[in-house]
């Protein structure tokens, strides 16, 4: 069996996926037409050609403008279902997906529209594709604490349908400490906590995510490799890191996939998982991320299996379900 066939058949969980980042240009045009929204570029090819980023902010500007075609519950349902179909083809059995409610509420789309559309797609994914999934509500860290509190408040009617909270968007200049109180409230509500940290930001932001936000997972975490004491802490705590190689490459977090820190992260004993982040923008879904690392860094089949096991172990599935997948 070829390495790519081996990866294709490997059951996996996806723990770092922004559903708005799975909006393929084809669906973007379809929704633009359906909702009579005009797009600045006039073809799928032109849109794809524009996905040439030099840093996180460069990408975020395009990502937020792309999301403007999402208007109705049906749109969010279609977005979700397209992702789950694509994930099923990559042997994803369970997904814990991020959504960014503020990206929608700030342009007049009610919280209810986004979440009910996504929840409907998740029900279909379970029934038709056998994929289980949960939602993680992300706060946009470039916005202020009050806005995050208001978002958490808006989520209260759906509290039982939300797995946890996350923190995303522009990292540098917006440290985890800015959201300490919001995360404390989320914890009091019984929600899981995760945060993007150490993607572009310094190792100190990872320390803050651990000590101030009390996170259950670190999203990205690449820059932990600059701080040996932090590596020890993450290993001791058995902390799961949701690493996204194609994203790292497209956003120039790493200049060459062959020099991605994944092998040293594994050697250090970190619980690493591989994920697709924003697959429509970064050139591939989860299996492409596994393939890129296998082809370019030489991680072994045994290590790929270890990564897939980490993905279930680091998920929030009940222990019995984890055992069933592992």
Feature table: binding site: 16, 18, 196, 277-278
Which of residues 278, 284, 310, 314 is near ligand ES4 by CB under 6 A? 278
**Strand pairing category for 240-243 and 217-220:** parallel
Please say which residue, 199 or 291, places its beta carbon nearer to ligand ES4.
199
Quick count: other Cβ atoms within 10 Å of Cβ 114?
26
Residue number, nearest CB to Zn ion: 277
What is the Cα–Cα distance from 28 to 239, expressed in whole angstroms? Answer: 36
Q: Which of residues 35-74 bind ligand ES4 (CB under 6 A)?
A: 56, 63
Which of residues 277, 308, 309, 313 is near Zn ion by CB under 5 A? 277
Q: Residue 21 binds what, of Zn ion, ligand ES4, none (CB under 5 to 8 Å, by partner type)?
A: ligand ES4
Tell me, yes or no, if 24 is annotated catalytic.
no
Phi-psi region of 33 (alpha: psi -120 to 50; beta: other; left: phi over 0): alpha
Q: Which of 165, 126, 131, 127 is nearest to 286 (CA)?
A: 131
Q: Which of residues 108-167 bind ligand ES4 (CB under 6 A)?
A: none
The single residue of 199, 200, 226, 291 carrying the catalytic annotation is: 199
What is the separation of C-alpha 246 from the centre of its chain, rounded to a whole number of angstroms? 12
What is the Cα–Cα distance from 76 to 239, expressed in whole angstroms? Answer: 32
Q: Measure Cα distances from 240 to 122, 150, 161 in Å.
A: 24, 29, 23
Quick count: other Cβ atoms within 10 Å of Cβ 111?
19
Q: Which of residues 165-224 bind ligand ES4 (CB under 6 A)?
A: 168-169, 196, 199
What is the Cα–Cα distance from 148 to 168, expressed in whole angstroms? Answer: 12
Using CB under 6 A as the binding criterion, the count of chain residues that bind ligand ES4 stands at 11
Which of residues 24, 68, 78, 277 is near ligand ES4 by CB under 6 A? 277
Please, are residues 240 and 314 in contact by the beta-carbon 8 Å criterion? Answer: yes
Q: Residue 86 binds what, of Zn ion, ligand ES4, none (CB under 5 to 8 Å, by partner type)?
A: none
- The residues that bridge with 166 in the sheet, in sequence order, are 138
Q: Contact between 75 and Zn ion (CB under 5 A)?
A: no
Please say which residue, 196 or 325, places its beta carbon nearer to ligand ES4.
196
Site residues, ligand ES4 (CB under 6 A): 18, 21, 56, 63, 168-169, 196, 199, 247, 277-278
> Where does this chain bind Zn ion (CB under 5 A)?
277
Catalytically annotated residues: 199
């Amino acid at each position: 069996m070829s390495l790519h066939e081996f990866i294709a058949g490997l059951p996996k969980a996806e723990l770092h996926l922004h559903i708005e980042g799975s909006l393929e240009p084809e669906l973007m045009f379809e929704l633009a037409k359906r909702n009579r929204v005009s797009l600045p570029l006039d073809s799928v090819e032109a849109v794809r050609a524009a996905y040439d980023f030099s840093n996180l902010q460069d990408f975020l500007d395009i990502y937020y403008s792309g999301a403007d075609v999402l208007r109705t519950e049906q749109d969010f349902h279609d977005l979700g279902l397209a992702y789950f179909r694509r994930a099923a083809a990559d042997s994803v059995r369970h997904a814990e997906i991020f959504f960014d409610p503020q990206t929608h509420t700030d342009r007049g789309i009610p919280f209810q529209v986004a979440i009910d559309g996504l929840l409907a797609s998740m029900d279909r994914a379970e029934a038709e594709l056998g994929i289980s999934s949960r939602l993680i509500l992300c706060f946009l860290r470039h916005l202020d604490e009050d806005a995050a509190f208001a978002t958490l408040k808006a989520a209260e009617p759906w509290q039982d349908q939300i797995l946890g909270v996350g923190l995303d968007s522009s990292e540098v200049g917006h440290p985890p400490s800015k959201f300490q109180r919001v995360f404390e409230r989320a914890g009091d509500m019984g929600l899981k906590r995760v945060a993007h940290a150490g993607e572009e930001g310094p190792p100190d932001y990872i320390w803050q995510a651990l000590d101030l936000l009390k996170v259950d997972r670190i999203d990205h975490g690449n820059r932990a490799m600059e701080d040996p004491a932090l590596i020890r802490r993450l290993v001791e705590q058995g902390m799961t890191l949701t690493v996204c190689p194609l994203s790292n490459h497209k956003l120039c977090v790493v200049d060459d996939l062959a020099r991605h820190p994944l092998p040293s992260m594994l050697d250090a004993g970190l619980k690493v998982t591989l994920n697709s982040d924003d697959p429509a923008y970064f050139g591939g879904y989860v299996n492409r991320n596994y393939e890129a690392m296998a082809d370019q860094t030489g991680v072994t089949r045994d290590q790929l299996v270890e990564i897939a096991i980490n993905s279930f172990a680091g998920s929030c599935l009940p222990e019995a379900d984890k055992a069933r997948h592992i």
